[in-house]
Every structure is written in C-alpha cells, then in structure tokens.
Amino acid sequence: MTGNTVFHPVQLIGGGPGAWDLITVRGMRALQDADVILADHLGPTAQLDKLCDIASKELIDVSKLPYKRQTSQDKINEMLISHARAGRRVARLKGGDPFVFGRGFEEVHALAVAGLSCEVIPGVTSAVAVPGAVGIPVTQRGMVHAMTVVSGHLPPGHERSLVDWEALARSEATLTVIMGVRNAGAIASTLIDASLPADTPVAAIQEGTLSGQRVVRTDLAHLGAIVEEEKIQPPAVFVIGDVAGLRAEA
C-alpha cells in the first residue's frame, strides 16, 4: 500500500484451449472480479460475455498474432504494472496455460521487480486438451510411456532454436507440436532424417474445441504437403506418434 492506494495481486489466468467453458472456475471468477482485462487472441477471448459482464470492464487487446500484428512483451508488462499501481484489479488472460509457451513467468517476474504480486491461475493446455477433444490420447497404456510438448515456431536448425529434433525422433514419445504450422514440412523432414519412420501417424488439429475445429490425419512423410493442401492455419496442434492413428470406432 502506498498512501491510500491498495495494490491488488494481478491475476494471471490460463483461459484453456479455446472454448469458453473450458476455463477453470477460479479463472472465471477472477475475470468477474476484474476492473481491467488484458487478453490474448487465444483462449475464450471471443466469448468473454459468457464469463463476465464485459460492459463493466476495460478490455485491452494485447494479441500476439502469428506473423501478424503483435503487442510486444515489454509493452504488456508496462500495462500490467501501470494498471496494478493505479489500484485496479487486473486480470491477464492467456490461452491454454500461462506457463506452457505462454511467457507467463516473464510477466510474473516483471511484476515482482516492480514490487507487485501475482496469482497464477493454471489453465487447460491445448497441447493435451486439443488432441483429447478429437479423441486422441497423447498417452495410451501399452503404446507409449512419454509425451513431449514442442514449440515449432522456429524451424529445425535455426540459430535460436532450443529443440533437439534428433533426440526427439529417437525418444519413442508422443510429440505434440504447437505453433508449428509454418514449419511443418521442415519439422517432418528433420524427424524422418533422424530416424523417425516416414509412416508415423500424424494428426493436424485446427481451432481445437472451437466451432471451426477440424482434424486432418496423415503420416509424417506427407505432413508438409497436407498442411498446404488443406490450408491449415494457426492455431493448430500436431500430434506425431502411434496414438495419432487411434480411432474409437469398433
């Protein structure tokens, strides 16, 4: 507290994979209590009116659209700090889970440096929920004992990439790739060159849990071509591994 100003903890909310009713109850209540909501384009942003009275909130779009308009992380941090220091109840709404490729910790750290507290409200990550929504288990008893969530926003071999694609090809784990649409062909080629069989099943799921959800099944050898032919666009999740070939039909 400084003077008569009460600093409320910023609520860092994981909004879930897309559908508005897949946010947690705690996340919904935090939105209802907020004075200002800083929201990404992912998660339940388009249907916030189902979660809270948006007419009583200040809604700020801080989207990071793939290869399009982006709000810088520094700018988002500045806005969080400014609104919190003004004594407002701030909700920061992200898609999925804020700590699964969501830069959530960067925001927590920026607030801490500014002397402000933050409550993290975990969300349902799209890396697991989106495959589940189309009937694909990322793990299956007797088939796979590991799964790895991978960011595909940088192509294999990029100087800033931290992914060891060769090791992943040998891991025998289910690979769930997010943010990989643009680099789908390069990812598939690299995995095949590193010994993952070309006929490994793959499912590409676009707009998972939303009304536009669709799933395209293929194999690793044809992933790049299928992404282009089917005009798959972000947000999309790729599931690579034997589980992607499972179907519930008898």
Residues labelled catalytic: 40, 64, 179
Joined tokens for residue 163: 């992914």
CB neighbour list of residue 81: distance below 8 Å, 6 or more residues apart: 110, 111, 114, 116
The continuous run of DSSP H or E covering 126 comes out as: helix 126-133
User: Within its chain, how far is the Cα of 201 from the centroid?
Assistant: 22
Q: How far is CA 155 from CA 131, 158, 162, 182, 190, in A?
A: 22, 6, 10, 9, 10
In degrees, to the nearest 5, what angle opens at C-alpha 249 toward C-alphas 17 and 132? 15
Joined tokens for residue 218: 């293929």
The candidate with the shortest Cα–Cα distance to 43, out of 68, 70, 67, 61, is 61
Count of H helices and E strands in the chain?
7, 10
In degrees, to the nearest 5, what angle opens at C-alpha 138 toward C-alphas 155 and 51? 90
Residue 170 CA to residue 102 CA, distance in Å, equals 27
